[in-house]
Amino acid sequence: MSVIGARIVYFTPFAVSVPLKMKIVTVLGARPQFIKAATVSRALAHAGIAETIIHTGQHFDANMSDVFFREMDIPKPHYHLEISGLSHGAMTGRMLEKVEDLLRSEKPDTVLVYGDTNSTLAGALAAAKLRIPLAHVEAGLRSFNLNMPEEINRILTDRMSSILFCPTATAVKNLEREGFREFGSSIHLTGDVMYDALKYYQTKAIASSTILKQHDLKAGAFVLATIHRAENTDDPRHLASIVAALNTINQETAVVVPLHPRTKQHLKNAGIKTSFTLLDPVGYFDMLSLLKHCTMVLTDSGGLQKEAYLSGKFCLTLRNETEWVELVKAGANVLVGTNEKKITGTFRKNKKKVVRVKPIYGNGHAAEKIVKRLARG
């Protein structure tokens, strides 16, 4: 059963004892973090906790950033650092310098970070250097592939965090296996805030999105795909193989790809030709509409793997590992890597696959649980 189409669920004020003039500084900068922050920021406001948002600028394109704040009613960032388009080291270093200066002046009680981006690591390092308590939403995820920049970011951020908010029981077990119970960290199983967001926004999104009409897409007649991971986009062989598979699938079922700006540039540089439908990056509402109306998802995105599952859609993950192992165990996700034949073969084998959604990511109240813990200081 898909959760898409269910009634919209609104947060209501909940009883939280908040220290006088408590302040949280949130550091974010990438699309998935805007979605996660929308739920927690709303819960913080309902609890009467002051929040200052620092946007690093890691995702600077209007379709990768501004649209999320507008659609999801996320409070406008108090600071926008406009740091993007650099190497991992240079980007993280500049973010660290700027965030550290702002934390010195803001003097928050806690710094809150999300996920596994360079913005996450920069915020974590700045907080740790200044000895400000750090809280990490989406803690404990592991792909066990240290070639992924995201894996390094999430491991280091977890180690520096005072409070670890885990979306799944597997994430908790990962931290326990790594000895976090001995580090003095506070570990909490909250469920996934992206499930909160999907439940809250889905009805409005489906009603307001015109993405299908704009691009003449027929509901139930297209596959949704995204490609953005560095290990796929930065290696011309991997990128060419994925595109070749999508070109082949497109001959059987229309393929729609909202294209990340960096992926677009890599395709151009490598001279790789596409025959499927390319879209500019889309906002959250349009993505929820595409998810509802597609037949299957092919992606290297961690967040979209979950959103596909919660939307009742089977997913082929264009990687050799995933942080979301529950999806593989549930039979809703298959790891296909970048091999053209494996991608196309697995697609054909699972074209009629039915996904039955179970509550493996909590009950849709993760943000409330997070805020109640933050309020304790």
**Domain harbouring 286, CATH code:** 3.40.50.2000
Q: Both 54 and 138 in a single domain?
A: yes
Cα four-point dihedral sign 43, 45, 50, 54: positive
Q: Both 107 and 183 in a single domain?
A: yes
Which residue segment(s) compose the domain that 245 sits in? 210-349
Supply 68's token pair.
């999320």
Q: Both 159 and 249 in a single domain?
A: no
Q: Both 187 and 218 in a single domain?
A: no
The pLDDT value given to residue 13: 44
- Give a yes or no: residue 7 inside a domain: no
- Give a yes or no: residue 357 inside a domain: no
Q: Which residues of 71-108 are buried (b: 16+ CB within 10 A; e: fewer)?
A: bbebbebebebebbeeeeeebbbbbbebbbebbeebeb
Q: Both 367 and 302 in a single domain?
A: no
d(CA 74, CA 94): 25
Question: 285 — phi, psi (to 5°)?
Answer: -65, -45
d(CA 301, CA 159): 24
Q: Is residue 359 helix, strand or coil?
A: coil
d(CA 259, CA 242): 14
Supply 359's token pair.
């509550």
Q: Both 86 and 124 in a single domain?
A: yes
Q: Both 30 and 85 in a single domain?
A: yes
User: Parallel, antiparallel, or unpaired for β 254-258 and 222-226?
Assistant: parallel
pLDDT along the chain (377 residues), means of 10: 33 56 94 92 96 89 66 87 90 97 98 97 98 98 93 97 97 97 95 95 92 97 95 95 98 96 93 97 94 97 95 97 96 97 98 93 96 94
The pLDDT value given to residue 265: 94
- Give a yes or no: residue 294 inside a domain: yes
Tokens 């704040």, located at residue: 69
Q: Both 345 and 367 in a single domain?
A: no
H or E segment to which residue 257 belongs: strand 254-258
The pLDDT value given to residue 83: 94
- Give a yes or no: residue 1 inside a domain: no
- Give a yes or no: residue 41 inside a domain: yes
CB 340, CB 231: distance < 8 Å:
no
Q: Both 68 and 106 in a single domain?
A: yes
Q: Write the burial class of residue 193 (CB in 10 Å: 0-12 exposed, 13-18 middle, 19+ buried).
A: buried
Q: Is residue 279 helix, strand or coil?
A: strand
- Give a yes or no: residue 75 inside a domain: yes
CB 11, CB 31: distance < 8 Å:
no
Q: Both 139 and 217 in a single domain?
A: no
Q: Both 370 and 289 in a single domain?
A: no
- Give a yes or no: residue 201 inside a domain: no
The pLDDT value given to residue 19: 61
C-beta neighbour count of 46 within 10 angstroms: 16
- Give a yes or no: residue 12 inside a domain: no
If one counts the domains in the chain, the total is 2
Q: Both 156 and 83 in a single domain?
A: yes
Distances from the Cα of 158 to the Cα of 32, 49, 170, 180, 332, angstroms:
18, 24, 15, 9, 28
Active site positions, annotated: 228
d(CA 321, CA 307): 17
DSSP 17: -
